Structure 1
């Protein structure tokens, strides 16, 4: 699929009320240029930056920068892989909107999800 077709499809999805997120932001193929081109609502801060937030200064600064960038662009930010209270505290202090990870819940089976939702 070409970039123009993808952007058109994403705009159509947004028209129907679907939020668009960039997953694993800061790793792999994610690029700052996507922030200008794509009609996104949210960045998902990759767990690799969250995992060693306390032990590695670079990770904490990258996580902080992604939150700051998201806020500047009026995007939501989700942190992946939150497993410890100190990670949660750090993320809350740095404007993280949402968090997911073992600290809150282990993955749920489809059967359980259907019962609750």
Structure 2
């Protein structure tokens, strides 16, 4: 299955970078709805990590709100198993789905990823600023980290830093890169 190949490739590349001397890092991999619903998903993930010998805490699996809300009870079970194995979980595109806050507190997640649709206009739109602030505050209250996706401007970055967003992702720093170009970037900015 292509999902397992993508997961294995990402884990292998991360292990190679760490083995070549780069600091310990965490690789985030998106899971599709089909992957997440595989009965043996935790076994597949753990087997790949163990085969490649990447510490479990170096993997973060990203799920969309829609995937987690399709069958929240099953999602909680899978997330509990992965969390118990030391694998980080995050909710991608947070704020765009129909998640229930009662389930959010039950999910064993590490991070909320704020959807770029809220980031795009935070420099000019007071509603987007309020929503992003609320997500960051809620995550902090629940002991979760936040990452903002789609950051492209200095103004967006400044607002997110001021509000205490933990991580930033977007073209402000770099466009998506092939592994060899990303390694060059790592070498230039250790």
Aligned match of 1:26:
95
How many aligned residue pairs are there? 116
- 2:151·2:169 contact (CA, 8 Å) conserved in 1? yes
Q: How does 1:8-19 map to 2 (within 5 A)?
A: 8-19=77-88
From the two aligned structures, give the one with the greater helix fraction. Answer: 2
- 1:24·1:30 contact (CA, 8 Å) conserved in 2? no
Deviations 1:33-60 (A, max 9, x none): 3312211111011101110001211001
Q: What runs of 5+ residues in structure 2 fail to find an aligned partner?
A: 1-36, 38-70
Q: What runs of 5+ residues in structure 1 fail to find an aligned partner?
A: none
- 1:79·1:98 contact (CA, 8 Å) conserved in 2? yes
CA RMSD of aligned residues (A): 1.8
Alpha-carbon offset, residue 7 of structure 1: 1.2
Q: What's the TM-score once normalised by structure 2's chain length?
A: 0.56
Larger-Rg structure: 2
Matched position secondary structure for 1:52: coil
Q: What's the TM-score once normalised by structure 1's chain length?
A: 0.88
Matched position secondary structure for 1:54: coil
Structure with more relative contact order (C-alpha pairs < 8 Å, separation 6 or more): 1
Deviations 1:64-94 (A, max 9, x none): 1111111111100000100001111100110
Q: How does 1:68-87 map to 2 (within 5 A)?
A: 68-87=137-156
